[in-house]
Structure 1
Amino acid sequence: MQALTSRWFGRARGQGLSGLIPGRRGVARLHRQPVWRAAGFLGRLPRGAGLTASVLYLIACGAYGMVYSGKTEEVFNDTTSELGFRVSAVRITGQRELDEIDVLDTLSIHSGQSLFFYDAQGARDRLAGNPWISNVSVMKFYPDKLRVIIEERTPAALWQKSLDEPVEIVDGAGKVITDHLEARFVKLPRVIGDGAETRVHEITGLLDDAPDVQKRVRASMLVSHRRWDLFLDNGVQVMLPERNPEAALAELQRLEHDGGLLDRDLTLVDLRLSDRLVVRLTDTAKAARDELVQARTKAMKQRARDA
């Protein structure tokens, strides 16, 4: 049995170290080094290092648990919020058409929100998606304030892509703001046609120089991206030329101001030819005109016979 034990463990049970190493005796107790000195580097660690390492280990485990469970941001948010960084004031400026409550809803500031962990860029992107907003800034002012500066689009015209399309409000650049029409917007210039929404300033600028015509215009239609037709309050259609529409409108302004041309029984005023003015009468006016012509012709024939 002793031989088997020696063969398995390399020594017999009860045999000391001196028995394994020939020529050496065991170290006397007086000359043995303390364990902490024999440990080398570990022996030089300050007192309490083990406790500190244990605490750090527990903190690391806790942090890993938070990350693994997805609660890290929530914990840090609550911590910084309790330290005085909770959002306590929001200042919103620049909004006129937008409701402040709608802006606050879009900001999505929950109860106990820490300013440290508030996503200002995400809030800006959400607000920028509102068609009323042309530009917006969301800024943090530590420790606990948020400021929102809004630039809204200004309604410039009512636009229809075609006569069977819905009416929409556009700004001066032709950007659609909304199709929700309120009574306060009905006096905006109305433009019709594909591309007309981006040329609002063009037609309004032309009409500014013809005030007697302008006050009677109810809609302006862009025809084939080339020229404008005007539709007046009495149903008369005015066809402007592609080239030099300023001169044509100036002539129409003169005729309206001096003789009230647009109050006559007309359905169409064609200004596309630079050397003449073409008008189309209403059916009633045309019938009256035909009757008058016939009467004059008959009277001339009668005078010819009497002569």
Structure 2
Amino acid sequence: MKITHVATAVIERADGQFLLGQRAADTFYPGYWEFPGGKIEPGETARGALVRELQEELGIEVLRADPWLRREHVYEHAHVYLNFFRVRAWQGEISNRVHSALTWQTPGAPTVQPMLPANAPVLAALALPAFYAITHANEIGIAAQNEALDHALKNGLKLVQLREPMLAPRQREAFVHAAVKRCHTAGARVLVNSDPLLALAAGADGVHLTSAQLATCLTRPEFPLVAASCHSPAELMRAAQLKCDFVVYGPIRETVTHPGRAGLGWETFATEINSNLGVPPAPTFALGGLSPHDLDTARACGAHGIAAIRSAW
């Protein structure tokens, strides 16, 4: 079946809600909810098609559209390759021109059904926060890390990686069990780096695979969340094949953790995570010498968000 390339928009308001449209009665999947967008015509770029489609469907002029995800799905009537953009700035009042209805929805808590089958992973990705904090208790001390974790959770941190390869085994186990409880009490999700058995024993939400584990893992670990560290387009492809929920990619800059290792820089980062690998990538967190102040730049380059060690605490 010939592949149809589509440009799709996640239109987001300042309050974080996103727009869905209900497919009309005279279309495939009538009554199903979808993200606005449409077919990329010959000679068009994905962004150009997005701008045109949103003007035709909703009567708005796109001011900013950041590349985000690519998904591939085979329906009964079409094989589609979806290029998702996050649209956070536009001009004009949204008006309904082609859908049966429009609705604003909250990430992680959609209230309308049914959704187009290709969009289930997209809804899950939207529920991921934009900041991923990584612990370093071995460097600053367990007591200091616990205090910093409590402070960050109190201030809204919602996604944490417990990365402590240098702690003694008993210290690491005790720290992980206590940190998982701290995170869950605050409503945050937490992953354990490289140790599925410890993650399971501690009741963590998932496991974060190293790039070495990613290369040898044959099946997705059985956790609600699985993430991976990637450093090349080939590793991004492997993470997608393994159906990882998200990845971190970098380093963008030289870091204390890996001194002497040159960073990719934003231009190379954007080129590599947006390359057409034939396998849609997972949501990507930029990593390496970054802070929340880099979030806007990261999003413009196609990242879902920022991952950080030192600036997180």
TM-score bracket, shorter-length normalisation? under 0.3
Structure of greater relative contact order (alpha carbons < 8 Å, 6+ residues apart):
2
| TM-score, L = length of structure 1 | 0.18
Q: Normalised by the size of structure 2, how large is the TM-score?
A: 0.17
- Structure with the higher fraction of residues in strand conformation: 2
Q: Could you say which structure has the higher helix fraction?
A: 1
CA radius of gyration, larger in: 1
